Amino acid sequence: MRQSRPADMGTPRPEELAAYLDGELSPARQESIATWLRHHPEAAAEIEGQRRLAGVWPTTTPAEPADANWASMLVRIESAVDRFRSARGRNRRRIQLGITGLAAGLLLVLLTPKEPGPAEAPSAGEPLAVVSPDDVEIVSLHAADRATLVVGAAPVMGPLVLASSNDVELEGVDPADDGMIPSIHMDERTIIPMSVAPLDPPPAGLPEPRP
């Protein structure tokens, strides 16, 4: 049979132990808990540890700021709040100004009559306007580039049609700076009308142009 200890009847609750440690209990209850602790060494050791901690606490607690420090901190906080409020007011005015300008710009765009210009990009799906062959005239190109023409006709496409003796009439020939006068073939049945200069110098072994 288990023997009960005298203090078992008054097992203190944790808050009572804390109050005991702070000396806030009635003297009778204080005495009864002290008796109970003598029979419960593990609880007594814990209470002793808490008592030592309470003794160390006052020596390690940081010093409270002085009243002057609190006062200066309050002044700084209040000035910061004022600056925040004024900045927020300026931003609000800027936003209002920007919205007003944007609305005015949109209104101007909507009210301005739209004129199609050369730089206006065609909308998607709209066929590109391409010049017709009548709108463009080829001034000069290399013969090899004729196949690359998309619009417009090259000045010469087929075989060259040469003038006949009935088509051309010679009216004059001036000599070159060195006195050379080309052979002019006109009204001949064996050759078409043509101006032929002698080769200068004639290739070796080759005769002068046939008259």
Partner 1 sequence: MKLPIRSLPAWLGFVVAASGLLSAAARGHAEEVKITIVVILASDRNHVVDRELQGIADEVRKCYPHLTGFRLGQITQKSLPVGKSEKFALVEDEVATVLVRHAADSKNRVGLTVKAPLQGEIQYSTCCGKFFPIVTRYQTKAKELLILAIRVQPCKKEPQ
What part of residues 80-139 is at the interface with partner 1 (CB under 8 A)?
137-139
- CB–CB of 12/20 below 8 Å? yes
Measured from the CB atom, the residue of 112 and 190 that comes closer to partner 1 is: 190
Phi, psi values for residue 144, rounded to 5°: -70, -15
Contact 81, 73 (CB under 8 A): no
Smallest CA-to-CA distance from 29 within 49, 56, 9 is with 9
Nearer to partner 1, 73 or 154 (CB): 154
Q: For the window 14-53, what string marks contact with partner 1 as x by the rule CB under 8 A? A: ----------------------------------------
Stretch that binds partner 1, among 16-24, 81-89, 91-99, 143-151 (CB under 8 A): 143-151
Helix 41-60 and helix 27-39, axial crossing angle in degrees, nearest 10: 120
160 binds partner 1 (CB under 8 A): yes
What does 63-80 look like in DSSP terms, one character per residue?
PPPPHHHHHHHHHHHHHH
Restricted to residues 171-210, the positions that interact with partner 1 (CB under 8 A) are: 171-177, 180-184, 190-200, 203, 206, 209-210
| Cross-strand partners of 183 | 196
| 9, 128, 159, 189: which one binds partner 1 (CB under 8 A) | 159
Contact residues toward partner 1 (CB under 8 A) are: 137-144, 146, 154-164, 167-177, 180-184, 190-200, 203, 206, 209-210
